[in-house]
Amino acid sequence: MILLYHGVVPDDSPPARTCVGQAITQSAFERQIEWLATHRSVVSLAQYMAGAGRTRSEVRQLMAITIDDGYGLTFDCVYPVLTRMNVTATIFAATGHLNGGELLWFSYLKALCFEGFYKVIAVDQHDYACQTLRERKRAWDGLRRSAVASGDPVCFCRTLATRYPLTPDIVSLYGGMTSGQLRMAADSTLFELGAHTITHPVLPRLSKEEQREEILGSRRVLSELTGKPTRYFAYPGGEYDHDTMDLVKAVGYEGALAVIPRELGVPSYEIGRVGVYSQSMIKFRLKTMGAADLGRRFGLRVG
């Protein structure tokens, strides 16, 4: 099983940073990794994908850890945990927000809604109050839906940011990894960096040429920053179609990771993962025991 994490934040973070599945705390992450190290066989992504020849029972014990997006704060939290326990992980980094670049579109929306900098956000003749946690969740859901419905969530959020800019302190909490963090990951035998596009768009909504630039451009940036090859790609939001998959394969990635595979015919380029969005150890253990796969077999979209 390949596990998928996104954000990990310090234990003293306000509750707003761990709601709507956007992050778990460092101590929760540590408990989960400790449990995996004790009860499962945690291997690198490359070792997991090279599992041919193992028995079915052996394969069921294998776990690979992936962390999407490449947040700087997340790296600060997971690096000491994984290093102390000698556990390997693959970080799929979107390159546009690295080194102080523009926040990923959904990161901007989360910061806008959950950091409480603005009491009301007016968009498309709708006023979203952002004072209570419940209001912030409602604002996040509404703005995210509007961004996706616009057809270009990246452009939607860039436009919104001109009206609702964020302070540098808030931006730093949601920004990407720095050059120093990227070097730490690249120099460690426990980490591998994978590509996750530049701006984290909804790839199937782009033209083939736009998709190609996102898919190939992210690898180019990572290679320049780390001096190492980038072997694997992860589809942003798990969204892909035949064109997307064909492009990822054509530009030379060895494999690509989805969330829920669409089964379009090339298994090594639509590898499924199970997302970890809760700090609950009960939910975590159920997922590692196959609860997500079971739900998917019954037609549920379990991330």
Same domain as 243, residue 132 = no
Same domain for 119 and 91, yes or no, is no
Query: Which pLDDT band, with edges at 50, 70 and 90, does 54 fall under?
Result: low
Residue that is last in its domain, among 122, 141, 171? 171
pLDDT at 270 > cutoff 70: yes
pLDDT digits (tens, 9 = 90+) for 82-136: 999 999 999 999 999 999 999 999 999 999 999 999 999 999 889 999 999 999 9
Listed residue (15, 36, 34) closest to 25, CA to CA: 15
**Measured between alpha carbons, how far is 5 from 243 in angstroms, rounded to an integer?**
26
Angle at 93 between CA 89 and CA 98, to 5 degrees: 130
> Average pLDDT in the 173-195 region?
96
Q: Which of 171, 188, 211 is the last residue of a domain?
A: 171
At 134-163, the pLDDT tens digits run 999 999 999 999 999 999 999 999 999 999
Task: Indicate whether 94 and 206 sit together in one domain.
Answer: yes
Whether the predicted pLDDT of 58 surpasses 70: no
Report the distance separating Cα 128 and Cα 125, nearest Å. Answer: 10
Model pLDDT, residue 61: 84
User: In which band, very low, low, confident or very high, does the pLDDT at 38 lie, cut at 50, 70 and 90?
Assistant: very high
How large a percentage of the chain has pLDDT more than 90? 87
The model's pLDDT over 3-28, given as tens digits with 9 standing for 90+, comes to 999 999 999 999 999 987 779 999 99
Is the pLDDT at 292 greater than 70, yes or no? yes
- What number is the average pLDDT over the span 213-239? 95
Q: Is residue 54 part of a domain?
A: yes
Q: Is residue 147 part of a domain?
A: yes
Residues 141 and 64 in one domain: no
Whether residues 165 and 82 share a domain: the answer is no
Same domain, 95 and 199: yes
Q: Are residues 145 and 60 in the same domain?
A: no
- Print the domain residue range for 40: 2-100+177-297
Q: 7: domain CATH number? A: 3.20.20.370
Tokens of 222: 């990572």
The answer on 82 and 183 residing in a single domain is yes
Mark 276-302 as b/e (b = at least 16 C-beta within 10 Å): bbebeeeebeebbeeebeeebeeeeeb
Q: 277 and 229, same structural domain? A: yes
- Number of domains, the chain: 2
Same domain, 154 and 196: no
Query: Are 90 and 211 contained in the same domain?
Result: yes
Which runs of consecutive H residues, i.e. helices, occur in 62-132?
72-85, 105-114
pLDDT of residue 21: 79
Instruction: Judge contact between 74 and 9, C-beta under 8 A.
Output: yes
Same structural domain, 162 and 188: no
Q: Is residue 303 part of a domain?
A: no
Among 171, 191, 215, where does a domain finish? 171
Residue 302 lies in a domain: no
pLDDT in the model for residue 303: 75
Task: Judge whether residue 53 has pLDDT over 60.
Answer: no
Nearest to 110 by CA among 61, 135, 82, 143: 143
Q: Is residue 206 part of a domain?
A: yes
